[in-house]
């Protein structure tokens, strides 16, 4: 019984983590163009 509960908990955690994987691209910032530009600049500055 504990094996099934552990399996269900593991599956739920895995699904939850996968659901939070959002790509970083301009189309995800439709209403926040300025925020996207600032984020890209910050990434570029951090990569230097």
Q: pLDDT tens digits, residue range 1-29?
A: 889 899 898 888 877 766 666 788 889 88
Cα–Cα nearest to 29, from 43, 18, 40: 40
User: What is the distance between the alpha carbons of residues 3 and 22, in angstroms, rounded to a whole number?
Assistant: 31
Residue 13 in tokens: 């955690």
Query: Residue 36 in contact with residue 26, Cβ under 8 Å?
Result: yes
Residue 15 has what pLDDT? 73
Residue 41 has what pLDDT? 92
Query: Residue 36 in contact with residue 29, Cβ under 8 Å?
Result: yes
Judged against a pLDDT cut of 70, whether residue 43 lies above it is answered with yes
pTM: 0.49
Residue 28 has what pLDDT? 84
């Amino acid at each position: 019984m504990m094996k099934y509960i552990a399996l269900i908990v593991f599956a739920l955690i895995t699904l939850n983590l996968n659901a939070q994987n959002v790509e970083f691209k301009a189309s995800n910032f439709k209403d926040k163009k300025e925020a996207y530009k600032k984020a890209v600049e910050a990434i570029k500055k951090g990569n230097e």
